Structure 1
Amino acid sequence: MGYRILADAAMAVHFAFLVYVVAGGFLAWRWPRALWPHLAAGVWGVLILTAGIECPLTAAENWSRDRAGGNRLPPSGFIDHYIEGVVYPERYTLLLQLLAVACVLASWSVPLRRRLTSRPHPQSRA
């Protein structure tokens, strides 16, 4: 039973990480330094999707499922198992990926604009 709870915990953390990757940049509207960990999470998320790197959370969930006597996640991974085809139809994957990118960029717009406008401008000499 303990391994099953651990597998469920890994799944919950995985969902939380995905929400953070998509919307965590909005935390930087209040706390500008939050942009850096969000940037790291975003880069990590993109690497997992594009470079075929196995997410440590997927590995932890599979390890726990093995010990609990359950089935492993499919090779396609966490998103394909829990989200794609369950939360939305597979044909909308590209659209939702683009919306996620748009959400990330929108969340970064305010802190980046603040950063650019708060820098002292060199004064011209007459």
Structure 2
Amino acid sequence: MGYRLLADITVAVHIAFVAFVVVGGFLSLRWPRLLYAHVASVVWVCLLMLGLKLTCPLTAVENWARERGGEPGIPKGFVETHLTGTLYPTGLEWLFRTLVGVAIAGSWLLSKHRLFRTLGSET
């Protein structure tokens, strides 16, 4: 029971991380210091997507907890296991990833615009 709960909590934290990757740039418009964490998160996700044989620590914790609880670990990555077919239809990964990229780029452009507007008003 305890390991299953840990696995479920890890999934919830993972979902929160994915949500932060998507909308963190927009949150940084309100709280500018979040932009550093958002950039680091986006870089991490990009490295994972490039297939550099990196293991996400949250996926490792989830697999560990599931295996200790007598369940099989997740067969693929977090997104493929928990989000594909749930958050977006199977086969539309390219669309999902494109929309996420557009959201990230849009939030960073807004942040850049706000930064330059703020710097311009100080002179």
TM norm. shorter chain > 0.5: yes
Deviation larger for 81-90 or 53-62: 81-90
Larger Rg: 1
SS for the counterpart of 2:108 is helix
Separation of aligned partners in 1, 2:53 and 2:79: 13
State the TM-score, normalized to the length of structure 2.
0.90
- Cross-structure match for 1:64: 65
- Cross-structure match for 1:46: 46
Separation of aligned partners in 2, 1:114 and 1:89: 35
Separation of aligned partners in 2, 1:111 and 1:77: 31
Question: Size of the alignment, in residue pairs?
Answer: 121
Deviation digits for residues 29-70 of structure 1, max 9, x if unmatched?
111221111000110111112123110000000000011001
- Cross-structure match for 2:89: 89
**Structure 1, unpaired ranges of 5+:** 121-126
State the TM-score, normalized to the length of structure 1.
0.88
* Identity across matched positions, percent: 42
Separation of aligned partners in 1, 2:31 and 2:89: 35
SS for the counterpart of 1:87 is coil
